[in-house]
Amino acid sequence: MPGGPRLPEDVLARELATLPEWTRDADAIQRTWRFADFKTAMIFANGVAALAEKANHHPNITVHDYNQVTLRLWSHDAGGLSARDVDLARTINATL
């Protein structure tokens, strides 16, 4: 499993408590941002893409409703949420 295993539920709950901006949805976590306009939303999406490439971990990125971006993170390999998701969410929070 290249990205590490699925996190045990208690560990995951502890990690997610430190990421209150992210919402759990089944086996994924999501966060939505709203920007001034479409261009700014695209700039943000590209920033996320650069961090995703660096981490070699690729979220779903949706630019929607003109000025919003929703990210959805999960680990396909692990069949759920792994440390890579938590790490990338933290990096995005800290960097963008």
Options 27, 32, 45, 55; binder of its own copies; rule CB under 8 A: 45
Element (H, E) at 71: strand 68-73
**85: nearest Cα among 94, 73, 95, 96:** 73
Rounded Cα distance between 37 and 65, Å, is 10
CB of 51 to its own copies, least distance (A): 12
Q: Binding residues for its own copies, how many (CB under 8 A)? A: 16
Contacts of its own copies in 60-79 (CB under 8 A): 60-66
- Would you say 19 or 63 has its CB closer to its own copies? 63
Q: Which two tokens stand for residue 36?
A: 């001034």
CB of 24 to its own copies, least distance (A): 19
What's the alpha-carbon Rg for the chain, to the nearest Å? 13
Question: Can you give the binding site for its own copies, defined by CB under 8 A?
Answer: 38-39, 42, 45-46, 49, 52-53, 58, 60-66
